[in-house]
Amino acid sequence: MGTPRDAGMRLVMLGAPGAGKGTQADRLAVRYGIPHVSTGDLFRANLSQGTALGQTAQRFMSQGQLVPDEVTEAMAWERLNAGDAETGYILDGFPRNVAQAQHFESKLVLAQQSLRAVVHIYVEPVVLERRLTGRRTCPGCKASYHVVFNPPALAGICDACGAELVQRDDDRPETVKKRLEVYMDETAPLVNYYSERGLLVMVDGNWPVDNVTDAILARLEGDRGHD
Ligand code: ADP
Ligand code: ADP
Ligand code: ZN
């Protein structure tokens, strides 16, 4: 695209809860050999290890609210600076509001790094609710399944690692409603934010998982051809 930038494959997945960010991020991470970094997974890992950070986060997560920016920003930036993320990462769930995006941008500038693209997966609101309430998650490898749309080969068991699947606490209908509201109020403005910066790649996420992956790759690798 003419602008000088570093070679890192840094991608951000943007989309409502249930849009398929985690599902697609897993696939992109395998394809590009870079880590899938999910701030939700980082908070849940802290919670299961009983850290102070995990306990703080849980108070907000269980209400479907965002965890405070400073806590989230510090945790995310630390993870993104681990050795395995040197050549890039698929960032899922961060940034989640304009303040986080601005803070993240200033960190990237200081580090002389840039984002390759922000993939916005768009899904009809009615579909999101069904996806979240039917979601089942692997506590072992964090893979995400759906009881109807994306079931494991053996009901209740992770295809990838054999662990027993669980339903997240915040995938209950009351919390889901709140999370979708928070998304509309706080996260949706990032679509414009990244569009203004020429980074946004829009993908229709209403199609089956494989079709969405193909659409993302076509856009990313097509775009790359213009460098
Ligand atoms: P989903 O996959 O449904 O989008 P996540 O696993 O990304 O959900 O996030 C679960 C919860 O973790 C959020 O509802 C929020 O409480 C907290 N969380 C995750 N990322 C952030 C963030 N960037 N800022 C604030 N809170 C966050
Ligand atoms: P997010 O990380 O955006 O919250 P997930 O990747 O966890 O979303 O997906 C939410 C739920 O929808 C999961 O149960 C997942 O298996 C399912 N899902 C993801 N992508 C699709 C798709 N394209 N079609 C149908 N179901 C999907
Ligand atoms: Zn697993």
Return the domain boundaries, the chain: 9-35+82-221
Catalytic residue of the set 168, 172, 178, 219: 168
Which residue's C-alpha comes closest to atom 12 of ligand 1? 40
- Beta-carbon contacts of 140 under 8 Å, excluding residues fewer than 6 positions away, are 158, 161, 162, 163
Whether 135 sits among the annotated catalytic residues: the reply is yes
Task: Give the Cα separation of 165 and 143 in Å (integer).
Answer: 9
Candidate from 103, 170, 183, 190 with most ligand 1 atoms within 8 A of CB, to mutate: 170
Torsion sign over Cα 95, 137, 86, 80: positive
Query: For the chain, which residues score pLDDT lower than 70?
Result: 1-6, 223-227
Q: 104 CB under 6 A from ligand 1?
A: no
Selecting among 10, 116, 135, 136, the annotated active-site residue is 135
Give domain 9-35+82-221's CATH architecture: 3-Layer(aba) Sandwich (3.40)
- The pTM assigned to this predicted structure is 0.94
Is 175 in contact with 84 (CB distance < 8 Å)? Answer: no
Catalytic residue among 21, 44, 131, 142: 21
User: Can you state the percent helix, strand and coil of the chain, rounding each to 5?
Assistant: 50, 15, 35
Separation of CA 35 from chain center: 12
pLDDT of residue 226: 47
Q: What is the pLDDT of residue 106?
A: 98
- Predicted confidence at residue 141, as pLDDT, reads 94
Q: Which ligand is nearest to the CA of 160?
A: 3
Ligand closest to Cα of 158 equals: 3
Mean pLDDT of the chain: 94
CA-atom Rg of the chain in angstroms: 17
| Residue 145 neighbours by CB distance under 10 Å | 21
In terms of residues, how long is the chain?
227
Q: What's the gap in Å between 48 CA and the centre of ligand 2?
A: 23
**What's phi and psi for 135, nearest 5 deg?**
-70, 140
Supply the pLDDT for residue 223: 53
Residue closest via CA to ligand 1's atom 16 equals 61
Phi first, then psi: give them for residue 92, nearest 5 degrees: -125, 115
pLDDT at res. 3: 46
